[in-house]
Amino acid sequence: MAGIRIYDFHETVYLSVIGSVKAGESPAETMKRIHLLAQQRAAKDISGQEASHMQCRRGCSHCCRVHVPVLCLEADSIAEYLLSSLSEESLETLKSKLRYIKVHIAGYDEQERIVANIPCGFLGSEGECLIHSVRPLVCRSVTSADSEACRRAMTMSVCEENAFIPMNITHKSIYDSAFIGLADAMKEMKIDCRSFEITEAVLYRLNKQIE
Ligand code: SF4
């Protein structure tokens, strides 16, 4: 994932992840730390006025139709959350949905997925994110200042045209730095630091932990 790096914040996340892994914390605990660090940094670096321009909100899901790359610790943390919060029946329903999406997006690039209009497996029926409290860093990095531009961008993408979406670059840089800091720390700790599309990554862990 290409990202704009804020060096001191990258270092903060990197050291925090290494400390967390060395202390034997769970992926959920590690990710909670990172999310908190990023929220605190955003609160420090982004003024209230800038934050008020962000239009992302529950139910607005124009952007939830693209591939979402996640790192292994993020996928582990999401699977941990689902396993502890869903009933067996809901888990089976979710797994069927993820399997269906996995098959239908296989081999698709971003553009093809948007054209096929295949939403994220964690998108609820009212456009809400079903894993909001543990959603990936990439999802957290997006802060559109114009939801209509997001809708237009998806439509234009179908016509193979690029569209401009105004967003807060400081916010994006904080979460990009967190993603890179996490990946670098995982590499240092000899944890697989490749990113995978969220559908397959989480489904794999759910299957593995239920076996
Ligand atoms: S994880 Fe949540 S926020 Fe991210 S794409 Fe899926 S539904 Fe949208």
Please state the domain extents for the chain: 7-210
- Residue 107 banded pLDDT, cuts 50, 70, 90: very high
Please determine, for residue 2, whether its predicted confidence score (pLDDT) is greater than 70: no
Q: What is the mean pLDDT of residues 43-49?
A: 93
Is 129 a pocket residue for ligand 1 (Cβ < 6 Å)? yes
Q: What is residue 163's predicted lDDT score, i.e. its pLDDT?
A: 75
Q: What is residue 1's predicted lDDT score, i.e. its pLDDT?
A: 55
Is 186 a pocket residue for ligand 1 (Cβ < 6 Å)? no
Q: What is residue 153's predicted lDDT score, i.e. its pLDDT?
A: 85
Q: What is the mean pLDDT of residues 52-66?
A: 91
Asked if 50 and 168 touch (Cβ cutoff 8 Å), the reply is yes
Between 209 and 211, whose confidence is greater?
Answer: 209
Is 64 a pocket residue for ligand 1 (Cβ < 6 Å)? yes
- Residue 64 banded pLDDT, cuts 50, 70, 90: very high
**Best residue for ligand 1 mutational test, from 117, 135, 200 (most atoms within 8 Å of Cβ):** 135
Question: Which of 193, 203, 174, 178 lies closest to 71, judged by CA?
Answer: 193
Q: What is the mean pLDDT of residues 91-114?
A: 95
Amino acid at 60: C
Between 149 and 131, whose confidence is greater?
Answer: 131
Q: What is residue 3's predicted lDDT score, i.e. its pLDDT?
A: 64
pLDDT digits (tens, 9 = 90+) for 144-198: 899 999 888 888 766 666 778 898 999 999 999 999 999 999 999 999 999 999 9
Q: What is residue 117's predicted lDDT score, i.e. its pLDDT?
A: 92
What number does the ligand 1 atom closest to the CA of 122 have?
A: 7
What number does the ligand 1 atom closest to the CA of 61 have?
A: 8
pLDDT digits (tens, 9 = 90+) for 169-184: 999 999 999 999 999 9
Task: Supply the mean pLDDT for the chain.
Answer: 93
Q: What is residue 108's predicted lDDT score, i.e. its pLDDT?
A: 94
